[in-house]
Structure 1
Amino acid sequence: MNLFEVIRNVFVEVCGRDLLSGLSGDDYSGSRLYEDLGLDSVQVVEICAHLESRLGIEFSETDMLGFITLSDILEKLNER
C-alpha cells in the first residue's frame, strides 16, 4: 500500500466517506483540506493522529497548523 492509499483509508475512517474518490497520488496537489474537501480543524487533527498512529511518526503543532492542502501532508510524510 502506498502512502496515498494509507491517507485515503485514514480519510475514510475519520470522515466516514471517501473524500478522495477520483483522485490518484498524482492529482492531489490542488486539493485544499478545508475549502475543497470540506474538512474542519478537528477532522484535520484526527487525520493527523490516525496517521501518526498508523505510521509511527509524530507531527508538531506547527506541522498541523501548516497543513492547507493534501500535498502538504504528503510532503511532510515524505520528509520522515
Structure 2
Amino acid sequence: MRKSSAEQSVLAALRQVLGRGELPGVDTGTRLFEDLGLDSTSVIELLMLIETQTGAEFDTESLELEHFATVGTLTEFVSSHG
C-alpha cells in the first residue's frame, strides 16, 4: 500500500476511534498514547478499523510497541503490511 493511502487510513481510523470529525495539529510526529490519549483497547479498535478500511490483515505476532509510537510509525507499519 502506498504511504499516502496508509496515512489517510490511519487518520480516518483515528477520527473514528477518538470520535472527532477533525484532528487539528495531528501529523506524523503526533504520539498516539501521550498526545492523543489512546490506550490498549483503543489501539485494538484502531487496528481493526484499519484492517476493515484497507482489506489488510495484520499478524499480531509481528506487532511491536514501537509501531504505535506516533502517527508516522503506525503509517509505516500499515504501509508495509497492506
Greater helix share, 1 or 2? 2
Displacement of 1:65: 3.7
- Of 6, 9, 15 in structure 2, the residue corresponding to residue 6 of structure 1 is 9
> Does the 8 A contact of 1:45 with 1:64 survive in 2?
no
Would you say how many aligned residue pairs link Structure 1 and Structure 2?
Answer: 76
Q: Deviations over 1:16-74 (max 9, x none)?
A: 01573233xxx41x211111111111111100000011111122224164422211211
2:25 match: 22
Q: Does 1:75 align with 2:80?
A: no
Q: Which runs of 4+ in 1 moved over 2 A?
A: 1-6
Indicate the larger mover: 13-22 or 68-77: 13-22
Displacement of 1:2: 3.5
> Aligned with 1:2: secondary structure?
helix
Structure 1 gaps, min length 5? none
> Does the 8 A contact of 1:10 with 1:50 survive in 2?
yes
The normalised TM-score by structure 2 is 0.73
Q: Distance in 2 between matches of 1:9 and 1:45?
A: 15
Q: Distance in 2 between matches of 1:7 and 1:40?
A: 16
